[in-house]
């Protein structure tokens, strides 16, 4: 594989991202969008913590729940990017069609094109990044340099921002992982591992740029959780009633370390300015 080119990495910077999508991939119409009933609590949580939010929104959510998107836009310091059109779980649909339909829905509600993209389940196929670059995206945040059996294995990919060899015009802002354990910085893992993991994070080195991912269903219990299979129920429901508090503690931990909270699009704009690009080293990423 051709080496990627490094991009400058801001330090002590954290970006809280939310993938705004329906709960899960189930059939029952009664369960659709149940987690959106918790939007009040979510807005109150982010407002209280006073952190800006980067939202990757699914095209179908923009069509089905435009009022929820507008509400986050109006009431929070939030920016929006695209998270596919139909959130296909099986990696079977064409990215070109997802981008075309997703962008149309995005424009309809938000009145502009999305700058950034995140793929469902962090699955990126060969050629996808050049498709995104050709479609005019400035950045992608779909690569998680970790290992999820049967889904992705990106342990050999950079953990810092980079310009991918196949699409040098596109900035990749990877989802961050614990430097030693390679556990992704996601609300689902904070919730699942709970208090002992928070205590470990208090003693851990953390990434210079920390891109954190979350979903509404990581924070709030709904009847949709109870409809999952037994193993997934265990994983998705464990500690969920304490999940907002766990997030609050994590934000506090980052503040104590001197992190500044910013939106991912702003970080992308800063990294991609010509001045800053000129400073980037054209050495392979380690």
Torsion of CA 196, 199, 205, 207, to 10 degrees: 70
Where does this chain touch Zn ion (CB under 5 A) — which range of 66-74, 114-122, 217-225, 242-250?
Answer: 114-122
| Among the listed residues 142, 83, 69, the one whose alpha carbon sits nearest the alpha carbon of residue 111 | 69
Per CB under 5 A, 22 contacts Zn ion: no
Kindly state the smallest distance separating residue 200's Cβ from Zn ion, in Å: 26
Size of the site for Zn ion (CB under 5 A): 3
Kindly state the smallest distance separating residue 156's Cβ from Zn ion, in Å: 23
Nearer to Zn ion, 24 or 247 (CB): 24
Nearest-angstrom CA–CA distance, 213 and 18: 6
Q: How far apart are the first and last CA of the chain?
A: 14
Nearer to Zn ion, 129 or 175 (CB): 175
Kindly state the smallest distance separating residue 186's Cβ from Zn ion, in Å: 11
Nearer to Zn ion, 32 or 249 (CB): 32
| Among the listed residues 32, 56, 73, the one whose alpha carbon sits nearest the alpha carbon of residue 122 | 56
Q: Which of residues 27-56 bind Zn ion (CB under 5 A)?
A: none
Kindly state the smallest distance separating residue 192's Cβ from Zn ion, in Å: 17
| Among the listed residues 10, 11, 5, 7, the one whose alpha carbon sits nearest the alpha carbon of residue 277 | 7
Where does this chain touch Zn ion (CB under 5 A) — which range of 31-39, 64-72, 117-125, 169-177?
Answer: 117-125
Nearer to Zn ion, 7 or 15 (CB): 15
Per CB under 5 A, 98 contacts Zn ion: no
Helix pair 243-256, 187-202: axis angle to 10 deg: 40
Q: With contact defined as beta carbons under 8 Å apart, do 103 and 116 qualify?
A: no
Nearer to Zn ion, 160 or 217 (CB): 217
Which helix (H) or strand (E) element contains residue 247? helix 243-256
Query: 145-176 burial, b for 16+ CB within 10 Å, e for fewer?
Result: bbeeeeebebeebbbbbbbbebbeebbbbbbb
Q: With contact defined as beta carbons under 8 Å apart, do 250 and 198 qualify?
A: yes
Per-residue x/- track, 140-179, Zn ion (CB under 5 A):
----------------------------------------
Nearest-angstrom CA–CA distance, 64 and 42: 19
Residue nearest to Zn ion (CB): 19
Where does this chain touch Zn ion (CB under 5 A) — which range of 17-25, 126-134, 217-225, 248-256?
Answer: 17-25
Kindly state the smallest distance separating residue 268's Cβ from Zn ion, in Å: 20
Nearest-angstrom CA–CA distance, 7 and 39: 36
Kindly state the smallest distance separating residue 36's Cβ from Zn ion, in Å: 15
Among 6, 8, 21, 157, binds Zn ion (CB under 5 A): 21
Nearest-angstrom CA–CA distance, 158 and 6: 9
Per CB under 5 A, 19 contacts Zn ion: yes
Nearer to Zn ion, 60 or 239 (CB): 60
Please report, as ranges, the residues that interact with Zn ion according to CB under 5 A. 19, 21, 120
């Amino acid at each position: 594989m051709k080496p990627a080119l490094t991009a400058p990495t801001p330090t002590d910077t954290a970006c809280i991202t939310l993938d705004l999508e329906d709960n899960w991939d189930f059939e029952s119409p009664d369960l659709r969008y149940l987690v959106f009933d918790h939007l009040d609590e979510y807005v109150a949580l982010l407002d209280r913590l006073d952190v800006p939010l980067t939202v990757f929104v699914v095209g179908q959510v923009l069509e089905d729940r435009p009022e929820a998107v507008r509400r986050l836009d109006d009431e929070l310091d939030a920016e929006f990017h695209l998270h596919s059109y139909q959130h296909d779980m099986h990696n079977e649909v064409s990215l070109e069609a997802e981008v075309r339909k997703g962008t149309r829905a995005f424009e309809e509600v938000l009145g502009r094109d999305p700058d950034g993209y995140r793929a469902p389940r962090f699955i990126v196929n060969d050629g996808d990044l050049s498709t995104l670059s050709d479609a005019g995206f400035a950045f992608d945040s779909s690569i998680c340099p970790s290992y999820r059996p049967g889904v992705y294995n990106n342990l050999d990919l950079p953990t810092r921002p980079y310009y991918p060899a196949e699409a040098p015009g596109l900035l990749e802002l990877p989802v961050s992982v614990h430097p030693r354990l390679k556990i992704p910085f996601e609300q689902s893992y904070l919730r699942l591992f709970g208090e002992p993991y928070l205590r470990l994070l208090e003693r851990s080195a953390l990434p210079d740029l920390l891109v954190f991912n979350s979903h509404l269903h990581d924070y709030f219990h709904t009847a949709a959780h109870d409809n999952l299979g037994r193993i997934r129920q265990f994983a998705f429901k464990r500690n969920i009633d304490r999940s907002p508090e766990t997030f609050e503690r994590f934000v506090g931990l980052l503040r104590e370390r001197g992190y500044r909270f910013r939106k991912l699009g702003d970080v992308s704009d800063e990294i991609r300015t010509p001045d800053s690009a000129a400073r980037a080293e054209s050495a392979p990423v380690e």
